[in-house]
Amino acid sequence: MSVFVIADLHLSLATEKSMTVFNGWENYVERIQTNWNRIVSPEDTVVLPGDISWAMHITETYKDFAFIHRLPGQKIILKGNHDYWWTSMTKMNKYLAECGFDTIHLLHNNCYTAGKIAICGSRGWFFDDADKKILNREVGRIRTSIQAAVQTGLEPVLFLHYPPVTVDAVCDEILDVMQEFGIRRCYYGHIHKAGSYKVVNGSCRGVEFRCVSSDMVGFVPQLVRDY
C-alpha cells in the first residue's frame, strides 16, 4: 500500500473549459489516466489537493467525479480556489453516496489515516492582509485538521491547495500552526509552470515543501509514502 498526491487536475469532462488551451496541457486527461493506472493500485490512496473540477455546481461534477472514481485507489480531495461546486459537507457526502462514488472522500476539518501517516489539510489562502478574515478562517481549519491527525498517533502530513511559502513570501500564520504541531512535510498545488519561478521545493523552517500541481509533476501522481 502506498500514498500518492497530485493537485490541480482541472477536469472539465462536462464543460467547455478545457486546460488544453494552455501550453503543456495537451491530452492532459489521457495522460493523468495513463500515469495513474501505471503506478497506483486499488490498495493505494491518492490525495488531490484542490482544483479538481471546473464544474460550477455539485451536480455538474458527475462526469469528472466518475472519471476519478474509476481510477484505482481511494481518493481524498480538498477544496481549491477554482472548485466552485464545493458546498456543505452534508450536501457533498449525500451526492457522493447517491452516485455510488465510494472511493472519493472529502478532507475538511477532519483527517484520514493511510498506513503510517495521518492525512490532514485545507485550502489555505494568500498572504495579502486584505484577506485576513479568510486567512484566519483557513488557519482555524488547518489547525482543526492537524489536531485530528495528531490524535491518531501517526505522522501528520499536511496537504494544502495554496502554497504557504514561495521564494518571496511566507504565510507566518499557517507556518506557525505547522511548527506548533511538528509538521515536517507539506504538499501543495495552485502554482503552474508559468509561475514555477515562485515554487519552493525544499526545506523552510524545518518543513519539507513540495509543489505537486499536475503540470509541474508531468501529470504523474507523486509518492508520499510506501508501506
**C-alpha cell of 173?**
500564520
24 pLDDT higher than 90? no
Mean pLDDT of 73-89: 97
Across all residues in the chain, what is the average pLDDT? 94
Mean pLDDT of 23-47: 96
Q: Calculate the CA dihedral of residues 78, 57, 96, 134 and round it to 10 degrees.
A: 30
Residue with cell 473540477: 53
**Where exactly are the structural domains of the chain?**
2-226
- Within 40-88, residue ranges assigned H as helices are 62-70
**C-alpha cell of 207?**
518543513
CA gap 168, 157 in Å, rounded: 24
pLDDT at residue 17 in the model: 79
Q: Is 217 helix (H, G, I), strand (E, B) or coil?
A: helix
Nearest alpha carbon to residue 53 among 75, 24, 23: 75
CA gap 211, 217 in Å, rounded: 8
How big is the chain, counted in residues?
227
CATH match of 2-226 with 3.20.20.10: no
Tell me the one-letter amino acid at 93.
Answer: N
CA gap 211, 196 in Å, rounded: 9
pLDDT at residue 227 in the model: 62
Q: pLDDT tens-digit profile of 163-188?
A: 999 998 899 999 999 999 999 999 99
